[in-house]
Amino acid sequence: MSLPPLVEPAAELTVDEIRRYSRHLIIPDVGVEGQKRLKNARVLCVGAGGLGSPALLYLAAAGVGTLGIIDFDTVDESNLQRQVIHGVSDVGRSKAESAAASIREINPLVNVEIHNTALDRDNVREIFSGYDLIVDGTDNFATRYMVNDAAVLLGKPYVWGSIYRFDGQASVFWAEHGPCYRCLYPEPPPPGMVPSCAEGGVLGVLCASIGSIQVNEAIKLLAGIGEPLVGRLMVYDALEMSYRKIKVRKDPNCVLCGENPTVTDLLEDYEDFCGAVSVEAQEAVVDATITAAELKEWQDAGKDIFLVDVREPAEYEIVRIPGSTLIPKGEIISGEALAKLPQDRQIVLHCKSGVRSAEALAALKAAGFRDAVHVQGGVLSWIKQIDPSLPAY
């Protein structure tokens, strides 16, 4: 369905703007009027990472008058494979600052507002209230639900995107005209069920595919042209090179935007709502957690341990802790790998950061391996504390 323009047009375009945006101006559906609306628009991009990079670049190039960037992270070398708004010289720099510099290089006519902070319950309303449209480039469920809830409560539309390996999704959520994110996903998935990009990887160019779709939807909303993805979920498979659209209806029983909402304010703790790790894992790690330094002491002392790496084979090929045996978490959770584990040696589990090993530890405890422990911080802690020469990923 077509929707009215989200913003009013600016008073005029300068001669420089007419020259810069000439290819927009000669498109009948955009024209001078549409470009004036883009000039007058204020768009916030949540995240300057995989999706935020192409989104910010193309929003800037399109002439969106004010771009807000919220990101508290710094540029890491592993980001450069997909986060094209940053360069080698930006490694270690604030992502928000790095992105702002790239935007100014592309289009100095754009006003950039930097929010070099973590988005949380205390600041999300204030930050969102200053913008017409939100572009969601987040990579975790806790922030996604918070972005959705704040947008609904403030009456703001937002463009959502998600990427993983070769698959991408995009939609527009605007409770005033269609469903919200909770209508599509009423509850977050169980902890550990959906791997993050850091755990499962993502094809770099997929970010550009989904990020450009997000910008396309943003432009349509701002200028009031075409049919935005309100009430539709676009699913993209890069390996099959296929697109399909799924209808998403507004849920009359939605706890947030339904007929009788029960969620009328932001949640107290979105991390708790989404559950970084399961209750079983939280209980399992109590008095069963060691540090990377303790693991090294055990190894040096010749303690009889069986060190298990619960990551995936591709991760194991990149970097591994010496002496570890690869048994992916899924094989432990399913029970398939239990027969491979010795009964007469202490089992020590680790993953990349400690989340997956905690889940695997819970399964082992339930199976009777009472003395099993896991390494807090996993491979990342080993690299930081023991061997900085190993590649972080």
Catalytic residue among 180, 254, 257, 351: 351
Tokens for 7? 């913003």
45 among known catalytic residues: no
Tokens for 147? 């972005």
Own/partner pairs, 268-276, CB within 8 angstroms, 24+ separation: 268/121, 269/121, 270/121, 270/142, 270/143, 270/145, 270/146, 271/142, 273/142, 273/145, 273/188, 274/140, 274/141, 274/142, 274/145, 274/188, 274/191, 275/188, 275/190, 275/191, 276/142, 276/191, 276/355
Biggest alpha carbon distance in the chain? Answer: 79
Close Cβ partners of 338 (under 8 Å, ≥ 6 residues apart) = 332, 367
274 among known catalytic residues: no
Catalytic residue among 180, 183, 197, 254: 197
Q: How many residues would you count in the chain?
A: 393
**How wide is the angle at C-alpha 195 spanned by C-alphas 341 and 235, nearest 5°?**
140
Residues acting as catalytic residues: 197, 351
